Homo-oligomer: A and B are copies of this chain.
């Protein structure tokens, strides 16, 4: 077999993986990696941590675990891949099977022939057509040089006020990085919440935590104008007319796939603007594969195409593409369940599958349960987890799971991702055998306990109500009888102060005369995390009350003000 030419466009995440894997599978192949930027294999998800000063050596973003920078010499020596940086691909000739490229420093042009081509052209931050967006001080975070610039600004100590435009994953990570660096941070988000992968009431807990770190969060507000003097940013005017003075604005409102090359060469582009690929990561041209932030992939739950520009998926897609190029189309990539996680100061926030609002938008009839609990036994230094499980109302299949808090969110979301991918029901999880020891989890793991709550709800044993709905009733003056079943000590320390009645659970069976005599009156029970709230509901229903609801997650999941 004569050597085949494999050309990979793009050298960030998917590209290097595809190139290195292809070469490992076919040592005889000529593998060429063409990268526009001066760096390769950048750990771009690490940019916020570099910007925030978690480490000082930018080479760490570009290095192997043993500290070798992944430059051209590394790719040649260790990987057998001919990598060329500063090299922009300008055209793909699918008939001649050749790509044209130009060295962006020297202007030198070249062509590279291919037998198989992999397009890993990535994505570009959205650049909203807002007045003043090109002012000095308005900054995206996409390339290594953006990270360098933001780190430089941080180290200069010259930036006092910064506005983050967009409250998504990257926005929040940059918010933390800059706030921890001593800047005064404002976050502006058009929608009603941060982190759209969460449902509102969990996002609100994150927002509360972010605010507790001195960050000002503006939701349901957008940027009307970037204001400047002499070409430099001086402030941001919001849609509500208010002005936030700042020297720096970081715009991170999502990315769009880079498909100009693919489109110009006639490859099929999908409804989300990404390159269309089949389950083998093959484009509409059988000699061309694509992977990473430039493609559309299936949502594994709905089967519909989606756009999921995540670094982990880019690597897995690229591996599948390389396998199929060398070994024939034997490997398939099934798509995404939208698993994600981020650190938000002392909180972690993660999600997999669909939120309630997303599942409803997809047409599912859903049931949900919210669970607030410690992540470990109290004597092991427990920290809080607040989770919400979303399941199909007919089958109990878990469609999604979200978790936020200071506790061990990581394991929870990973377990849930496995459950969602496997199509597990709440009943499967209710009897799951997960690793337990006090340093690591509760005896009944939080994820299992959340499934139990949802089982109880589906079986009609527990009727839940969302705290946001309770708050709406209170604010609307239509609050029902609200029953706090915690202890007097707990009540004294912290309470909702919304007109609730305190009857500790232990005395409830003997205090039924303190409840509404009308057995059909709406009663809402809660406690710290609403385990006792649920016990109270069982007691009241056994005693004839017919309209009792548990405020899920209790006071620990209450995203509004509490009284101390």
Contacts and interface: CB of A to CB of B under 8 A. Distances in A.
Given A65-B378, A316-B448, A333-B431, A78 B535 contact: yes
A61 B379 contact: yes
Contact of A46 (B79, B379, B452, B529): B379
Contacts of A27: 538-539, 541-543
A421 interface: yes
Contact of A380 (B49, B434, B535): B49
A378 B63 contact: yes
A35 to B, nearest CB: 18
A433 B300 contact: yes
B433 A313 contact: yes
A310 B379 CA distance: 19
Interface in A469-511: 486-487, 490, 505-507, 509
Contact of A25 (B382, B438, B461, B529): B461
A433 B320 contact: no
State the number of copies, please.
Answer: 2
A43 B438 contact: yes
A209 interface: no
A334 interface: yes
A487 to B, nearest CB: 7
Contacts of A438: 43, 45-46, 49
A447 to B, nearest CB: 8
A340 B63 contact: no
A348 B443 CA distance: 17
Contacts of A67: 378
A66 B46 CA distance: 38
A228 interface: no
Contacts of A335: 433
A382 to B, nearest CB: 7
Interface in A311-332: 311-316, 319-320, 332
A507 B77 CA distance: 6
Contacts of A430: 316, 319
A435 B379 CA distance: 28
A350 interface: yes
A559 B553 CA distance: 46
Interface size class of A (residues with CB under 8 A): 35 or more
Contacts of A541: 27
B437 A66 contact: no
A271 B317 CA distance: 49
Interface stretch (A119-127, A132-140, A407-415, A518-526): A407-415
Nearest to A541: B27
A337 interface: yes
A417 interface: yes
Contacts of A315: 443-444
Nearest to A486: B66
Interface string A291-320: 000000000100000000011111110011
Contacts of A538: 24, 27
Contacts of A336: 433
A187 to B, nearest CB: 18
A339 interface: yes
Contact of A528 (B65, B310, B543): B65
A440 B348 contact: yes
B50 A379 contact: yes
A55 interface: yes
Interface in A432-463: 432-441, 443-445, 448, 452, 461
14 contacts: A49-B380, A54-B379, A65-B374, A65-B378, A66-B528, A67-B378, A80-B539, A300-B433, A311-B436, A312-B445, A340-B435, A341-B436, A417-B433, A422-B424
Given A43-B438, A335-B433, 5 more contacts: A28-B542, A341-B440, A342-B437, A414-B435, A421-B428
Interface of A: 13, 24-25, 27-28, 43, 45-46, 49-50, 54-55, 60-61, 63, 65-68, 73-74, 77-80, 169, 173, 300, 310-316, 319-320, 332-343, 348, 350-352, 373-374, 377-380, 382, 408, 410-411, 413-415, 417-419, 421-422, 424, 428, 430-441, 443-445, 448, 452, 461, 486-487, 490, 505-507, 509, 528-529, 532, 534-535, 538-539, 541-543
